[in-house]
């Protein structure tokens, strides 16, 4: 595949036009703090034990492996709502069978602390969170950062930012998506465990979404509703296909609805007309068809994903060595996609 098919964020278009402030993130784990916002209150009763864990410089898969080894719990009996950055300080929930109540503190290390323990009736599963709250320190920002910060923050609050899948979605070597695409084409590959297979196929779906979104932005269509687009009601998440473009453009402009892109799969709500033609071009460019996703149907069911994300609570505060950013994002939205707009070279 040519370079423009790569999903790396460095090769994706920017949405904002205001010059950024430059700067670097993650000079130390403490520069990137993220805290999960749970989707529901815990009941205090039930067969699952939820642990609120603060970890430093430790990935979520490594955390799960550690808990499994120390407590002797199979990995498939350990639940998390999502993966958190490894080189960071993060607070996230992990759930284990309630029988681990008396021994849960044994998992603590110099990089891992159990802040809370509470029972609940249902297992924690991927996506079971409302969102994440971030506190991020930018260092080595440009000398014009003070003048640029208010402008870029104002534009981001107005137009949003691309809801890209971040680089971490594609694996440590940035090649999980290539593996997933080969699998979807029916090519022979190395054998994978189920979690590795799931990750590779998800990375391939993410790559296709980023590719679709990049074309939409480059064509000046990030905020323009097309005939046949699949929109999502902001309040309920309900999807529908656009038939009356002027009416739906007005609703989108008022942020009553969101424009969505494809996470291809047999259960994905299909677009129509011009929007359908654009999504078919994505499959064509990657030598795929809708039937390709039937090969691993249970792992590639498909859905829709908003093209844009909005961050109404973004605050930027100058510090002695840069700029501190505080904001919250919905589940599945990558902070690095927002930071990319802020940190682009002025």
As annotated, the active-site residues are: 85
C-alpha torsion sign, points 85, 314, 317, 152: positive
Q: Give backbone dihedrals phi and psi of 72, rounded to 5 degrees, phi first.
A: 65, 35
How far apart CA 254 and CA 271 sit, in angstroms, is 22
Tokens representing 152 are: 């870029």
What are the structure tokens assigned to 45, written together? Answer: 């009763």
Comparing C-alpha atoms, which of 345, 339, 285, 299 is closest to residue 168?
Answer: 339
Which residues contact residue 49 at a Cβ distance below 8 angstroms, ignoring those fewer than 6 apart?
A: 95, 96, 97, 98, 100, 101, 104, 117, 118, 119, 120
How far apart, in whole angstroms, are the C-alpha atoms of residue 225 and residue 253? 10
6-10 long-range CB contacts below 8 Å, 24 or more apart? 7/165, 7/169, 7/170, 7/177, 7/206, 7/207, 7/210, 7/211, 8/167, 8/170, 8/174, 9/164, 9/166, 9/167, 9/336, 9/337, 9/340
146-174 residues labelled b (16+ CB within 10 A) or e (exposed): eebbeebbebbeebbbbbbbbbebbbeee
């Amino acid at each position: 595949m040519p370079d423009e098919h790569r999903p790396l964020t460095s090769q994706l278009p920017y949405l904002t036009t205001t010059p950024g402030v430059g700067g670097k993130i993650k000079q130390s784990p403490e520069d990137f703090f993220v805290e999960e916002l749970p989707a529901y209150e815990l009941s205090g009763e039930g067969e699952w034990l939820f642990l609120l864990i603060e970890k430093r410089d430790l990935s979520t898969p490594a955390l799960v492996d550690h808990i499994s080894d120390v407590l002797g719990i199979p990995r498939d009996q350990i639940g998390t709502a999502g993966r958190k950055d490894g080189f960071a300080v993060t607070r996230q929930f992990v759930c284990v069978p309630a029988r681990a109540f008396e021994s849960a503190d044994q998992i603590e290390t110099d990089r891992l602390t159990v802040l809370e323990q509470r029972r609940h009736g249902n297992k924690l599963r991927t996506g079971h969170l409302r969102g994440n709250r971030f506190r991020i320190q930018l260092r080595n920002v440009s000398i014009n950062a003070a003048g640029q910060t208010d402008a870029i923050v104002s534009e981001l609050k107005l137009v949003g930012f691309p809801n890209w899948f971040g680089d971490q979605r594609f694996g440590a070597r940035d090649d999980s998506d290539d593996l997933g695409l080969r699998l979807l084409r029916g090519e022979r590959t190395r054998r994978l465990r189920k979690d590795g297979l799931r990750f590779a196929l998800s990375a391939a779906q993410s790559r296709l979404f980023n590719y679709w979104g990049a074309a939409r932005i480059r064509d000046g269509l990030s905020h323009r509703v097309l005939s046949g687009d699949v929109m999502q009601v902001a309040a309920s998440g309900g999807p529908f296909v656009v038939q009356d473009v002027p009416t739906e453009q007005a609703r989108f402009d008022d942020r009553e609805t969101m424009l969505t892109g494809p996470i291809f799969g047999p259960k994905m709500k299909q677009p129509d007309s011009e929007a359908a033609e654009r999504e078919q071009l994505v499959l064509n460019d990657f030598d795929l068809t809708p039937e390709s996703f039937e090969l691993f149907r249970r792992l590639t069911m498909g859905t829709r994903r908003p093209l844009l994300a909005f961050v109404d609570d973004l605050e930027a505060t100058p510090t002695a060595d840069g700029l501190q950013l505080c904001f919250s994002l919905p589940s599945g939205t990558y902070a690095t996609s927002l930071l990319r707009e802020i940190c682009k070279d002025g």
